[in-house]
Structure 1
Amino acid sequence: MKDSKSDKTEGMIDRAAGKAKEALGKAGKDRDTEAKGQAQVSKGHAKQAKGDLKDTLKSGSQSGRTDDPNRR
């Protein structure tokens, strides 16, 4: 399993590449390339969110917190 930093980095790369692809599609009036760019941007957002979630889960498990106040 990848660590959260890897997911976040891959997400940023996908977002940047997707934005470039989207701009290229707009400039060339190529809707297919533009749509692929938009999809890649979304994929990047998802990867970054996955990394954020891993960070949240990791920090929650290290703090010893639980949602049940009666559970020790």
Structure 2
Amino acid sequence: SRAVEDRGGEATTLNNIGRVYSDLGEKQTALDYLNQALPLSRAVSDRSQEAYTLTNMASLQRSQGELTEA
């Protein structure tokens, strides 16, 4: 996706990678990928992908006890 400058596809891929790292228990790495995905979703005005990424971020933060941030 990066090679062909498909920002929407890149955002989806980064989000999915973040989910995998979250499932593996590597929460900070997961959050790093989700933080990369978010601005890309916003750049292409993909509100659905943006919402999905924000939901994943909130879920991850909630699981770490960061309720205010979530």
1:15 and 2:18 matched: no
Match of 2:57 in 1: none
What RMSD, in angstroms, separates the aligned Cα atoms of the two structures?
A: 2.1
Distance in 2, Cα, partners of 1:9 & 1:36 = 20
Please list every run of 5 or more consecutive structure 2 residues that lacks an aligned counterpart in the other structure. 47-70
In the TM superposition, structure 1's runs of 4+ consecutive aligned residues that sit over 6 Å from their partners are none
Distance in 1, Cα, partners of 2:27 & 2:42 = 23
| 1:22 Cα deviation after fit | 1.2
Query: More helix by proportion, 1 or 2?
Result: 1
TM-score, scaled relative to structure 1: 0.51
Higher radius of gyration, 1 or 2 = 1
TM-score, scaled relative to structure 2: 0.52
Q: Quick one: percent identity of the two aligned structures?
A: 10
Q: For the Cα contact (< 8 Å) 1:18–1:41, is it kept in 2?
A: yes
Q: For the Cα contact (< 8 Å) 1:9–1:48, is it kept in 2?
A: no
Aligned length in residues: 43
